């Protein structure tokens, strides 16, 4: 039995940030990871997808450069190099996270962790590659992967701590569509990242953030893309008008909305539209991107008596679960499926744990309403707070300020006057408080934090109007939108 102050299950953005912050406070931390440090985000999520999208953007610039006086003859995609660059970026960042954790004194323990009653955790070796728990403890000989920084576990080790943080993350959903399971043509997002060549055609099932990012990526690289979405509009988190503008901007992608996939036969996706029309889309690859689920199974959650609500570990605003001494953060809580939300949850849980240890009370809380989102398609989109429709549904009387990106000199210089881009600010009538912002266009993901601050601090339109923005920048569209109506 080894004793720690805090054990953390899972080393994604939530787990590794919590470990780093706690260790910086001289707390003895064990961080248990069955696969790669960095979790989904660093290894098979945010980072690899954005690295690939950047290569696609460079290619698009090379192809479209002539308009700006830059002619690149014979521009082509070297997919092997694109993939190698993505792998280099991921490996470098992973090493850097591992280095920081080690420097802070965190013990990284490789293997499958399970709650084992009270504040104990049992760690068994995991299958290399898949991270699945080895069937029996005696399978130690097979050996879990371990890096130079990691403590290699014996067959089974029992750890004990004052407090536990559960940060087991999430994984892709494979819906029960006939013909999907076991079909080698059907890939999830992780499978897409490992493609050895650019597919001629891809049928994307699910037009959410992940599906649209892959659609944008591969359409920019020359694949023929069809996105099938069951809802009336893509990307449900987006303002519907902005989502429509995004669809129009992704010219090479065919979007089929209000359409349900009924079955998959080999590389054919059978569908039925709301109108009753039936048909099939044939593609070399089928991406299943219908959503992600919280990882709540296989690590003793139910046996320990953790409350599960809406298929996720229930946690309050301080990320406390129903069991004293156990916190849950990140995707596993179902509060959000974003890495930066996991970071914030880690900070809130750490603040609470430090307060408990000091016999004080933490005021920090996780506030989902002001977590921004970003979609890194080409063009990109981002938003925070309420959409116009959500604000109205909540009973607000609103003023909507909308401005095209073409008002920005820099935007026009870099993209042209007809390039897609717009911003929408939703303001409460009377108080002029900013309720939500949606942006579609260059750098949206870089600008949205400023609007997040505005929402966090409950700023009014006046505050935005009085703020000075550097010129010429695309961010000036925010100021222009704020001044676009006489409110």
Ligand X SMILES: Cc1cc2nc3c(=O)[nH]c(=O)nc-3n(C[C@H](O)[C@H](O)[C@H](O)COP(=O)(O)OP(=O)(O)OC[C@H]3O[C@@H](n4cnc5c(N)ncnc54)[C@H](O)[C@@H]3O)c2cc1C
Q: Stretches 45-53, 150-158, 349-357, 456-464: which one binds ligand X (CB under 6 A)? A: 45-53
Q: Does 4 bind ligand X (CB under 6 A)?
A: no
* Rounded least distance, CB 190 to ligand X, Å: 7
Q: Given CA atoms 88, 92, 98, 102 in this order, what sign does their dihedral have?
A: positive
What single-letter DSSP state applies at residue 399? E
Q: Stretches 34-42, 54-62, 93-101, 362-370: which one binds ligand X (CB under 6 A)? A: 34-42
Of 170 and 421, the one with the shorter C-beta distance to ligand X is: 170
Distance between alpha carbon 30 and the CA centroid of its chain, in Å?
Answer: 25
* Rounded least distance, CB 411 to ligand X, Å: 23
Of 220 and 408, the one with the shorter C-beta distance to ligand X is: 220
Among 153, 165, 150, 101, residue whose Cα is nearest residue 354: 165
Q: Which residue has the tokens 């037009």?
A: 207
Q: Does 14 bind ligand X (CB under 6 A)?
A: yes
Of 189 and 241, the one with the shorter C-beta distance to ligand X is: 189
Per CB under 6 A, contacts with ligand X among 452-481 are none
Per CB under 6 A, contacts with ligand X among 197-256 are 210
- The whole-angstrom separation of Cα 173 and Cα 208 is 13
Q: List, in order, residues 6 or more apart from 401 with CB less than 8 Å away.
A: 424, 425, 427, 461, 481, 482, 484, 485, 487
The residue from 61, 340, 447, 471 that is catalytic is 471
Among 449, 455, 451, residue whose Cα is nearest residue 433: 455
Of 97 and 167, the one with the shorter C-beta distance to ligand X is: 167
Per CB under 6 A, contacts with ligand X among 52-111 are none
* Rounded least distance, CB 420 to ligand X, Å: 20
Provide, for the chain, the percentages of residues in helix, strand and coil under a 3-state DSSP scheme, each rounded to the nearest 5.
35, 25, 40
C-beta of residue 376 within 8 angstroms of C-beta of residue 442: no
Coil/strand/helix, residue 4: strand
Q: Does 372 bind ligand X (CB under 6 A)?
A: no
Provide the 10 A C-beta neighbour count for residue 230: 16
Give the x-and-dash track for 126-155 against ligand X (CB under 6 A).
Answer: -----x------------------------
119 is annotated as an active-site residue: no
C-beta of residue 22 within 8 angstroms of C-beta of residue 346: no
Question: Contact with ligand X (CB under 6 A): which of 6, 7, 8, 9?
Answer: 9
Question: Contact with ligand X (CB under 6 A): which of 13, 179, 207, 436?
Answer: 13
* Rounded least distance, CB 188 to ligand X, Å: 8
- The whole-angstrom separation of Cα 258 and Cα 149 is 50
Of 167 and 185, the one with the shorter C-beta distance to ligand X is: 167
Per CB under 6 A, contacts with ligand X among 294-353 are 295, 299, 330-332, 337-340, 342
Of 41 and 478, the one with the shorter C-beta distance to ligand X is: 41
* Rounded least distance, CB 202 to ligand X, Å: 14
Q: List, in order, residues 6 or more apart from 372 with CB less than 8 Å away.
A: 340, 382, 383, 384, 448, 449, 451, 452
* Rounded least distance, CB 251 to ligand X, Å: 23
Count Cα neighbours of 462 within 13 Å in the Cβ-side half-sphere. Answer: 4
* Rounded least distance, CB 286 to ligand X, Å: 16
Q: Does 366 bind ligand X (CB under 6 A)?
A: no
C-beta of residue 484 within 8 angstroms of C-beta of residue 401: yes
Q: Does 12 bind ligand X (CB under 6 A)?
A: yes
Q: List, in order, residues 6 or more apart from 456 with CB less than 8 Å away.
A: 367, 370
Question: Contact with ligand X (CB under 6 A): which of 8, 29, 49, 223?
Answer: 49
Note the residues at the interface with ligand X (CB under 6 A).
9-15, 32-35, 39-41, 45-46, 49, 112-113, 131, 167-170, 189, 210, 295, 299, 330-332, 337-340, 342, 376
| Residues with active-site annotation | 471
């Amino acid at each position: 039995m080894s004793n720690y102050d805090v054990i953390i299950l899972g080393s994604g953005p939530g787990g590794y940030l919590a470990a780093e912050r706690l260790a910086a406070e001289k707390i003895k931390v064990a961080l248990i990871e069955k696969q790669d440090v960095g979790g989904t985000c660093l290894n098979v999520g945010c980072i690899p997808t954005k690295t690939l999208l950047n290569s696609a953007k460079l290619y698009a610039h090379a192809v479209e450069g002539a308009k700006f006086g830059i002619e690149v003859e014979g521009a082509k995609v070297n997919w092997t190099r694109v993939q190698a660059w993505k792998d280099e970026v991921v490996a470098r960042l992973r090493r850097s996270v591992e280095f920081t954790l080690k420097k802070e004194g965190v013990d990284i323990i490789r293997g499958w962790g399970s709650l084992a009653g009270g504040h104990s955790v049992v760690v068994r070796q995991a299958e290399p590659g898949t991270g699945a728990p080895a069937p029996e403890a005696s399978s130690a000989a097979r050996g879990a992967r371990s890096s130079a920084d990691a403590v290699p576990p014996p067959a089974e080790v029992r750890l004990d701590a004052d407090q536990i943080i559960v940060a087991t993350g999430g994984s892709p959903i494979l819906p029960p569509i006939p013909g999907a399971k076991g079909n080698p043509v059907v890939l999830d997002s992780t499978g897409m990242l490992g493609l050895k060549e650019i597919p001629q055609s891809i049928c994307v099932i699910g037009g959410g953030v992940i599906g649209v990012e892959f659609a944008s990526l591969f359409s920019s690289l020359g694949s023929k893309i069809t996105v099938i979405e069951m809802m009336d509009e893509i990307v449900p988190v987006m303002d519907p008008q902005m989502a429509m503008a995004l669809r129009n901007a992704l010219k090479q992608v065919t979007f089929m909305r209000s359409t349900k996939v009924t079955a998959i036969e080999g590389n054919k996706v059978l569908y039925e539209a709301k109108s009753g029309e039936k048909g099939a889309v044939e593609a070399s690859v089928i991406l299943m991107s219908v959503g992600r689920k919280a990882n709540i199974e296989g690590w003793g959650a139910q046996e320990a008596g953790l409350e599960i609500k809406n298929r996720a570990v229930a946690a309050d605003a301080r990320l406390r679960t129903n069991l004293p001494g156990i916190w849950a953060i990140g995707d596993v809580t179902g509060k959000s499926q974003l890495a930066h939300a996991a970071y914030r949850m880690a900070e809130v849980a750490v603040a609470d744990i430090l307060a408990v240890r000091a016999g004080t009370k933490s005021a920090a809380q996780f506030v989902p309403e002001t977590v921004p989102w970003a979609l890194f398609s080409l063009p990109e989109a981002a938003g925070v707070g309420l959409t116009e429709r959500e604000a109205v549904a909540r009973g607000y009387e609103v003023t909507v300020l909308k401005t095209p990106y073409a008002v920005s000199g820099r935007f026009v210089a870099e993209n042209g006057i007809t390039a897609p881009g717009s911003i929408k600010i939703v303001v409460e009538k009377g108080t002029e408080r900013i309720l939500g912002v949606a942006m579609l266009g260059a750098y949206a993901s870089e600008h949205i934090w400023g609007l997040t601050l505005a929402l966090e601090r409950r700023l009014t339109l006046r505050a935005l109007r009085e703020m000075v923005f550097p010129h010429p920048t695309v961010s000036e569209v925010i100021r222009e939108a704020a001044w676009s109506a006489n409110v």
